[in-house]
Amino acid sequence: MHGKSIGEHVKSVESFIKDFGNERIALVTSGGTQVPLEKNTVRFIDNFSMGTRGATSAEYLLAVGYTVIFMHRESSLLPFSRHFPSLFNMLQVEDGKAVSSDAKLIDNIQKATQCRNRILFVPFVTLSDYIHMLEGICTVLKPLHEGVLVYLAAAVSDFYIKHDDLPTHKMKTEEVSLPLSVVPKNLQRLVENIVPRAFVVSFKLETDESILVEKARKALSRYGHQLVVANMLHTRKEHVVLVDNEKEIHIRLSDKTKEIEEDIIGNIKERHSDLIANAGQAQ
């Protein structure tokens, strides 16, 4: 990993939450994970996710009062700047300064500035970084109990090549081999042992609608967490199903000028409030 180590990133989360009171905090994971195919990595397996869901959700979480730890794939989309993929082309030079009068750009820069102290960016690249970082950050968040929302929107690889199966050098075309193993699911351990009192939301992505809700239910019963947001690859921006132990709720975007994450976050905030209220009563 370039730059900071995982341990250093986890430490930065620790100091970020040091003076934390009763605020709500959301750990958002976002973007895809990279799986190396060689020890000296030239090639890797990746996926389509640009981190739109995570970056958009983080904006709405900040808007409804959460502090956000944004654990994202390096170079994937970030809250507020995500709206401007070609910033370079929006600027003019005036009096030796690069400027823009674009109202949307100004609005988003102002929002980002206002939220600056309520969001911490923590980048990852590989699947292994992702797994260790998630565990490390959740361990740091554990003492915040019900105040924590874990929102797992990252597109995590289901396959990887075990370290012992990885060739050291660039794979030769005449010796191509991809001995893939299934990634062990660590969510159950996270839910049971690391953040047992947090509100945990996982995402389920499918391309076959007939198995979507069934798969979401399987994940719920397997991991024992509170909610699965189920979505289809091609309709994920207009339709999601929120699946809990009792029921499923469909959220459909009716107003195309809005974003579905606003409704997802609105719904999840209420559920998280219920968890906090119930925990208060139980004490």
Cβ pair 27, 137 in contact under 8 A: yes
Structure tokens belonging to residue 57: 């959700």
d(C-alpha 86, C-alpha 185), whole Å? 38
CB nearer to ligand 9Z3: give 17 or 76.
76
CB nearer to ligand 9Z3: give 119 or 155.
155
Cβ pair 24, 270 in contact under 8 A: no
Smallest separation (angstroms) from ligand 9Z3 to the CB of 117: 26
Smallest separation (angstroms) from ligand 9Z3 to the CB of 203: 3
Smallest separation (angstroms) from ligand 9Z3 to the CB of 201: 10
CB nearer to ligand 9Z3: give 52 or 108.
52
Smallest separation (angstroms) from ligand 9Z3 to the CB of 91: 27
Smallest separation (angstroms) from ligand 9Z3 to the CB of 157: 8
d(C-alpha 69, C-alpha 50), whole Å? 18
Residue type, 57: S
Structure tokens belonging to residue 76: 């994937």
Shortest CA distance to 144 belongs to which of 201, 67, 30, 229? 67
d(C-alpha 53, C-alpha 49), whole Å? 9
Smallest separation (angstroms) from ligand 9Z3 to the CB of 267: 15
The one-character DSSP state at 37 is S
CB nearer to ligand 9Z3: give 52 or 128.
52
User: Which residue is listed with tokens 């970020």?
Assistant: 16
CB nearer to ligand 9Z3: give 171 or 213.
213
Beta bridge partners of 73: 124
Interface with ligand 9Z3 by CB under 6 A: which residues? 49-53, 152-153, 155-156, 202-205, 231, 236
CB nearer to ligand 9Z3: give 16 or 151.
151
